[in-house]
Amino acid sequence: MIAPGGIRWVVLASVALLISGCGASSAGSRRALPASPAVSTTAVPMVPYERLVHSDSEPANWLTYSGSYMSHRFSALDQINKENVADLAPVWVYQVKNPGLIETTPLVVDGVMYLTEPPSNVAALDAGTGRTLWRWTRPMPAGVKNIGFPRVNRGVAVLDDQVFVGTLDGYLMALDAGSGSVRWEVEVADNQTGHSITMAPLAIDGKLIVGISGGETGIRGFVDAYDAATGERLWRTWTIPGPGEPGNDTWGGDSWRSGAGATWLTGSYDPDLNLLYWGIGNPGPDWNGDVRPGDNLYTASVMALDADTGELRWHFQYTPHDTHDWDANQIQVLLDDDWEGEPRKLLVTANRNAFYYVLDRETGEFLHGVEYAKQTWSEGLDENGRAIVIPGTEPSYKGTLVWPSLQGSTNWFSPSYSPLTGGFYVAVREMGAVYYKQDVDFEPGQPFLGGGEQRLDGDQAQGWVYALDALTGERRWQFNLLSPPWSGVMATGGGLVFGGSQEGNIFALDADTGEPLWSFYVGAATRTNPMSYAHLGKQYVVMSGGYGVFVFGLRD
């Protein structure tokens, strides 16, 4: 960590680069962009809640995990476009200090980039050069548990002059945005009972919203809100209802006690309705549903929560009584559009179970659903959106072949919605698996799985990027990948869709046709989501590969 005086020196150095003409636009199809400061002139980026609400109005910055509260993962920047994307090249690369999977989405605020490194470290970089401004390292205790998921961190949140990060050992940290020093820390839950934090927190008005990982140990999941200034917990909403609470009767006996329902990916938010939309994970045990008869609310669901109180306003369960580990933690995308001739507030999502859903986000009413990827477990959805399950597709002691695999038709990586095309872009995994059921006893802090799977790898597995009509789920085009992906996509104002592959290629597609327009080989698998920002009048696209975070810009 460098001293505050060092930060001021970096600011002056960056201004000097600006004076010397660094970042000036070249001739041709590059488009001029509003200049953003090299680094915040106060050396402390200020991000009040109002900036987060109106983040779409400043596309030069990337202020939240999904780019906006609506979770579109769309960049309105259009300097990089169909005509010139072939000229995209690396500008700088940041190598993480601790090797491990990089699943972070960097945030950029007024010329400062904040990103996480595995397992729970944070770095602040000059967005123009990659120079380290400060770096905060979380010491990990011996014996830290991460059962059922890798040692990853997906990013930070920013609010006012603080940066917030969750840690693998179950803490929420508030860091000073200018220096990286710790303002406060709070233990969200005990790691030794299986709890952990891998998601990027969500900052709203004076609050930090955070979820929990650990569904494979039979935890009782929850969503928390914390005071951004003090770290005081303001409310907690359990995803597994206890006795006397609505939904508890969907759990046979005492099975709710180990019901899981982890909340391990960042939710979406509607400031006008003051509602949070949070995807909920699988029930526990994962593959043996005999010990938990019933629909098992609120697992494999989306919960709409009052942001002030945590009160449940409505829910929709995508996969009742899930026995295939099809978490519903996929990003819930919010749209405002006409539905049957009337303006409507909508929520759309491509679920892990291979179905695409359209809901009314004010009421939770099911409006439409359709199969978007290969699946063999359901005959379709009924008029209420409930899957019509094909008999004999449950896991068994001998094994049952079903599509999709436990990784689902998509997973944690983000989709993207383009308001320019009306397209919903999603990276798709086409893979089946043989599901097995086993007997299991619950022991806190230990694996609570009840079976497993043998997936169909090799030639029987494929990957795709699909462009779906956001209102109907109808497929517009598809782009074939060599293997099932672990990276998300981002659409842009330049008419592009960026993504990455397990083979190590970062690529750009035509958002209208799916035609490949550019690719760059980074030498190792990509496992993250793209994002974009502008700095000194120049647009950049960011994605990781292997142990490096690659920043691309047009050649001068």
Strand partners, 166: 172
Structure tokens that stand for 308 in this block: 């002030």
| Residue 441 annotated to the active site | no
Structure tokens that stand for 195 in this block: 């709890």
Taking the chain, what is the end-to-end CA distance rounded to the nearest angstrom? 33
- What burial letters (b/e) apply to 140-165, b meaning 16+ CB within 10 Å? beeebbbbbbebbbbbbbbbbbbbbb
| Active-site entry in 295, 327, 337, 382 | 327
Angle at 135 between CA 133 and CA 139, to 5 degrees: 170
Task: Judge contact between 352 and 326, C-beta under 8 A.
Answer: yes
Q: Whole-angstrom Cα distance, residue 384 to residue 366?
A: 6
Backbone φ and ψ of 136, nearest 5°: -115, 130
Q: Whole-angstrom Cα distance, residue 369 to residue 353?
A: 12
The contacts of residue 352 (CB under 8 Å, 6+ apart) are 326, 327, 328, 329, 330, 404, 407, 408, 409, 410, 411
Task: Judge contact between 436 and 395, C-beta under 8 A.
Answer: yes
Structure tokens that stand for 404 in this block: 């999709």
Q: Whole-angstrom Cα distance, residue 227 to residue 300?
A: 28
Task: Judge contact between 260 and 300, C-beta under 8 A.
Answer: no
Task: Judge contact between 486 and 435, C-beta under 8 A.
Answer: no
CA distances, 396 to each of 17, 451, 521 (Å): 64, 9, 42
CA distances, 553 to each of 26, 57, 86, 537 (Å): 12, 22, 11, 11
**Which string of DSSP letters, residue by residue, matches 352-385?**
TTSEEEEEETTT--EEEEEE-S--SSEEEE-TTS
Task: Judge contact between 62 and 531, C-beta under 8 A.
Answer: yes
Alpha-carbon 398 to chain mean position: 35
Q: Which helix (H) or strand (E) holds 173?
A: strand 171-176
CA distances, 29 to each of 79, 101, 160, 497, 554 (Å): 8, 36, 37, 18, 10
Residue 384 burial (10 A CB sphere; 0-12, 13-18, 19+) = exposed
The set of catalytic residues is: 327
